[in-house]
Amino acid sequence: SSYPYPWTAAAHRPARSPTHRSARPSPGATSAPMSTIARAVLAAPAGRLATRVGTRMTGSVRAPMTTTPRAASTASTGARHHRVPALQYSLAPPSPSPTRPSSGVVRRRASSIAANATANPASRQFPSTDVPSDAFYDAVVVVAGGMTDSGGLPPWVVSRLDHAVNEYRRHVTAEPPKKTYVVLSGSATPHKPPPLQRGGFTLHESTAMAEYVVAAGVPPEAVLKDTASMDTIGNAYYSLLLHAAPRNWRRVQVVTSEFHAGRTRAAFEWVWGLWSPGLNGADDDAGRQHRGGVPYVHLDFCTTANDGLSREVVDARAEREARSEAALRDNATRVTTLADFGEWLYTTHLCYAVTRQHEIGEFAEMKTDPALKSY
């Protein structure tokens, strides 16, 4: 049978599999710009890292964890969050509802990671309240952000989903209506055991998120899941290969929380930037040259508030995020084809390599590391 995507991995597999330690940059490769906070990780002594990094993040303590869709109303441009009415299970525009007055909450500025992490100047980044009114997308990809021990969705994940529901409504109520998908990317985390659902099966994060957005009115046929990824780099890889590449999407919005923006952008711009159908259907440089180096898929990044996270947790998470972002930017200079990326992912990565699968299941750090309370 024919290969499902217009590139052939076998034809481009390197003689030696790249790893974190042995991969070498391709000739002419340059480091992608990284955020100020990620540069601080590489330059700062470990003892001063929290001082230099932690103060740059924003945090809030808000509503208790919930999996119930928030109260319906349309978005107010003065409020930080978009709220949406329940939608009918069709592409027909829902009935309008009165605009909710501004909540009076001052909109939080984007974190320094969100403001500065950019590898592709053609892509844009904006908070959830500032989505350009003329921007429409083939899909809105929501990066998973963990679950409670009982399988509920924490507030920072609910904020991401509320935005995705609002984006779906904005598309289907446009004139003329625009078709779009909501992609929910995430299986589980390697940092703690997954909750179970009926029958003893694993409750995937994307499944819990799907229940939320469908209850909020997004038709099930417009919701696509990724139940394979276990971290941010996996979110980028599987959302691309499972959904974007087969459907030939060209414009996609990626949604995550402020504290997670730098790593998300580094991962998606790296992985999705490797997807470049050539003039003859192959994954090679011919397509890139034909497009003048412009990525095949245009990515925009949208950030939502760090709802439900204390300052302590956000500051602790900042250190982990900055280290991860710096590593991703560095690896992007070493692994420069999709075939090489597959080798790297499945031979070196904790979540996907058979050689490291015995490392999954050690959860002692969850008891002591405050950053892991946000997983």
pLDDT, greater one: 118 or 149: 149
Nearest C-alpha neighbor of 69 from the set 171, 168, 211: 211
3-state secondary structure string, 113-141? HHHHCCCCCCCEEEEHHHCCCCCCCCEEE
Mean pLDDT of 287-307: 88
Per-residue confidence band for 35, with pLDDT thresholds at 50, 70 and 90: low
| pLDDT of residue 36 exceeding 90 | no
- Residue 117 clears pLDDT 50, i.e. is over it: no
Q: Is the pLDDT of residue 261 over 90?
A: yes
242: confidence class by pLDDT, cuts 50, 70, 90: very high
What average pLDDT score do residues 48-71 get? Answer: 38
Examine the pLDDT at 29 and tell me if it is beyond 90. Answer: no
pLDDT of residue 281: 58
For residues 51-82, b (16+ Cβ closer than 10 Å) or e, as one string?
ebbbebbbbbeeeeeebebbebbbbbeebbbb
Kindly report which listed range (89-93, 337-341, 369-373) carries the lowest average pLDDT score.
89-93
Per-residue pLDDT band for 372 (boundaries 50, 70, 90) equals: low
Mean pLDDT of the chain: 73
Residue 123 pLDDT: 83
Give pLDDT, residue 95: 37
The reported pLDDT for the residue numbered 284 is 62
Question: Which pLDDT score is estimated for 79?
Answer: 33
Provide the pLDDT confidence category of residue 370 given band limits of 50, 70 and 90: low
Residue 119 has what pLDDT? 52
CA distance 45 to 278: 44
pLDDT for res 164: 98
The per-residue pLDDT for 128 is 93
Sheet containing strand 181-185, edge to edge, reads: 124-127, 298-304, 251-257, 139-143, 181-185, 223-226
What is residue 83's predicted lDDT score, i.e. its pLDDT?
38
Prediction pTM value = 0.69
Q: How many CA atoms, within 13 angstroms, populate the side-chain half-sphere of residue 225?
A: 18
pLDDT grade, residue 360 (50/70/90)?
Answer: confident
Residue-level pLDDT at 121: 72
- State the pLDDT at residue 257: 96
Query: What pLDDT was estimated at residue 24?
Result: 44
Task: Please name the helix (run of DSSP H) or strand (run of DSSP E) that holds residue 225, with its range, or none.
Answer: strand 223-226
Predicted pLDDT of residue 61: 34
Q: Measuring CA to CA, which residue among 345, 337, 270 is closest to residue 13?
A: 337
pLDDT at 71 over 70: no
The residue that leads in pLDDT, 188 or 29, is 188
Question: How much is the pLDDT for 114?
Answer: 34
pLDDT at 293: 77
Question: For residue 92, what pLDDT band results from cuts at 50, 70 and 90?
Answer: very low
